[in-house]
Amino acid sequence: MSSSESKLPQNGGQRREQFTRLMRHSIERLMNGGDESGELDFGIGAMLALLAIPGAFASVAASQSDEYFFIVLAMVATGAVAIWKWDALMPDRRDYVNLAPLPIPGKHILYANLAALLLVAAALGFDVNAASSVLFPLIAVSSHSSFGYLALFFVTHLFSVFLASMFSFFIVLAILGLMMVVLPYRLFRRCSIYVRCGMVAVLMVMISTSFEMSEIIQHPSLGSRQLVQLLPPVWFWGLCEHLRGLTDPVFGTLAETAIVACVASLALAIAASAFGFRRSFGKNSESIANFAAIGSVIRHKSQHRTRDLFLRTPFERGCFTFALKTLFRSENHMLIIGGFAGVGIVLASESLFQSATAGSANRWPSAALLSIPLIVLYMLLIGLRFSFEIPVTQKGNWIFRLANPDASECVGLARKIMLTFLIPPLFAITLPAYSFVWGWRVGMIHTAVIATVSMLLIEFLLVCFRKIPFTCSAPHFKSNAPVAVFYYLLGFIVFTNLVPIIERRASGDPLWYLGFILALTGIWLGLKLYRREMTRFDNQLIFEERSDIGDVNIQVLNLSWGARETEEILRSGQRDGY
């Protein structure tokens, strides 16, 4: 024992080095994730670059009244990162296995993690807001203000959005810590996904209503609107206005609330994560993370018969069950689909709101009202298609490789998964809702139209699909990604604007339906022919995504990589003729 005691860090320098290394490790863990499954995992460089983009773009077309929007953007971007990295915010089982046997007091691990979180929060706050803090003042006020006012505008904007970012990050951390303190480990794991989805929904509602809120809060009667003053972004907006010298007492109150909220969220986050750490870290070794299966384990023969009607081959049955279990049990997949569906619901509710204010008492609903289910379903189907690309424990895909299916079987499987998500809302919500308001005829016609165009959309989405969902490595950043985004936006416009307009027109002239059906049949046949040609050329399933030059770019952005790796990637890119 005596010989080993000499190895203990003897001086402050060594202790500092130890602490710094622990802190660096916590930052790396936060930035790199810790998942071996190959699921979505951005490097630090790529992540910071992606986060900086929205602020920069939004600044280009901004005016002085958009301050509120930038505060919301800062809160949403930072909050979204904290929610995405939820599992990495606190030391987990792997940390326990690797760090607990080392001669480090548990409190050092906690302090290092807290220090790392503060640093990461500050870096995120700076990154998310840096571009907008420079561009927004330049574009919004430089043409008609003195340099002094420009400087004041810049400083107050940066201070407000930075504090808003911090508040958002610490609130997420506080919620995580409180859940760890209050809930038993298993219940905490189970509830996490729902809490995260809820927070994503709140962030999306915040961003989608920010433009309307910008107008509401500019109104002179803000002081009398108590409910509006309860919104956190309004506090930080008030702080910004107060710092710019506006004398309205309501700004003073809001500024005070913003500062108090920020300090309180920081204190709560630190306290909750410290107690959460004490409660869960030591027990990690004793907690067995085998979560009970979601849903009932009782299966009736009738269920099997129904399933067998829908799924013809053993391959389809096996993979379908695997896919559904993945979608309902994998947090990443649930978050992706929840995010897409949430955006759809927000956009659809805007459409509903507009229609309601415009007034629509016709015997046939307006195009905006007809578009509501189309918007939600478009986002849901796109989200599903996107989630198919994200693998779950990619190393386990050998079992699917051995099954040796062909590409057409996989398209059929993916189609059936998408239909499983399409049919229930269509017949359980759309048909009764439209039938109740506008009668059975309208309800059935509209449901039939949505079903038809949705199935055509599914065919479009699966036209080049040669994978078993969730089994192929995550796609690399492709050089054609912007083109794909353009096509998705175009698809959204056609699906949610053009289709309802045609349907509305067809309500007055049934000949339009004939033309519509003929057009859809033509598109469907074209797609079928195209896929046949594709599969004749290459019918092999894909289990490993190949990278292109885009991959090189995104890896180079990853600052955590060493210079050696970067050079090797660039060399290999040059070898490959890029």
Partner 1 sequence: MVLLEARNIVKCYTAVPAVNGVTFSVGPGEVLGCVGPNGSGKSTIVRMLTGLIQPTSGAVLSGGADIRKNLVGYREQLGYVPEEPDLYPFLSGWEYLELVGTLRGLPRAPLAKKIGAMLELFSLSAAKYVAIGTYSKGMRQRILLIAALLHDPTLLIFDEPLSGLDVTSALIVKNLIKSLGERGKAVFYCSHVLEVVEKVCTRVMIIRKGEVLAYAASAEIQERAGQSSLEKSFVHLVEERDAARTAQDIISVMRAA
Interface residues toward partner 1, by CB under 8 A:
1, 3-5, 7-9, 14, 17-18, 21-22, 25, 28-29, 32-36, 93-94, 96-105, 285-286, 560, 562, 564-565
Task: Report d(CA 131, CA 141) in Å as an integer.
Answer: 16
Task: Report d(CA 172, CA 175) in Å as an integer.
Answer: 5
CA dihedral 306, 410, 486, 504 (to 10 degrees): -30
Residue with tokens 């729902």: 194
Residue 507 beta carbon to partner 1: minimum distance, rounded to whole angstroms: 57
Alpha-carbon torsion (41, 30, 562, 393), positive or negative: negative
- At 6, list the tokens: 């000499």
DSSP labels for 153-171? HHHHHHHHHHHHHHHHHHH
Q: Which is nearer to partner 1, 28 or 350 (CB)?
A: 28
Residue 282 beta carbon to partner 1: minimum distance, rounded to whole angstroms: 9
Q: Which is nearer to partner 1, 43 or 500 (CB)?
A: 43
Residue 34 beta carbon to partner 1: minimum distance, rounded to whole angstroms: 6
HEC sequence for 303-334: HHHHHHHHCCCHHHHHHHHHHHHHHHHCHHHH
Q: Which is nearer to partner 1, 105 or 577 (CB)?
A: 105
Residue 157 beta carbon to partner 1: minimum distance, rounded to whole angstroms: 35
- At 296, list the tokens: 């009932």
Q: Which is nearer to partner 1, 98 or 224 (CB)?
A: 98
Instruction: Evaluate whether 542 touches 472 at the Cβ level (below 8 Å).
Output: yes
Residue with tokens 């490959």: 576
Q: Which is nearer to partner 1, 17 or 308 (CB)?
A: 17
DSSP state of 281: T
Residue 506 beta carbon to partner 1: minimum distance, rounded to whole angstroms: 55
- At 132, list the tokens: 């907008």
Residue 255 beta carbon to partner 1: minimum distance, rounded to whole angstroms: 41
Q: Which of 301, 231, 186 is nearest to 72 (CA)?
A: 231
Q: Which is nearer to partner 1, 36 or 406 (CB)?
A: 36
Residue 393 beta carbon to partner 1: minimum distance, rounded to whole angstroms: 12
Residue 14 beta carbon to partner 1: minimum distance, rounded to whole angstroms: 6
For residue 495, give Cα distances in angstroms to 83, 420, 503, 563.
Answer: 31, 20, 11, 46
Alpha-carbon torsion (495, 501, 504, 506), positive or negative: negative
Task: Report d(CA 365, CA 352) in Å as an integer.
Answer: 11
Q: Which is nearer to partner 1, 134 or 559 (CB)?
A: 559
CA dihedral 118, 191, 390, 319 (to 10 degrees): 160
Q: Which is nearer to partner 1, 5 or 533 (CB)?
A: 5
Task: Report d(CA 203, CA 343) in Å as an integer.
Answer: 10
Residue 100 beta carbon to partner 1: minimum distance, rounded to whole angstroms: 6
Q: Which is nearer to partner 1, 76 or 114 (CB)?
A: 114
Residue 28 beta carbon to partner 1: minimum distance, rounded to whole angstroms: 7
Q: How far is CA 351 from the centre of its chain?
A: 22
- At 181, list the tokens: 């303190």
Q: Which is nearer to partner 1, 153 or 281 (CB)?
A: 281
Amino acid at site 180: M
Residue 578 beta carbon to partner 1: minimum distance, rounded to whole angstroms: 23
- At 390, list the tokens: 């994200």
DSSP state of 551: H
Q: Which is nearer to partner 1, 17 or 544 (CB)?
A: 17
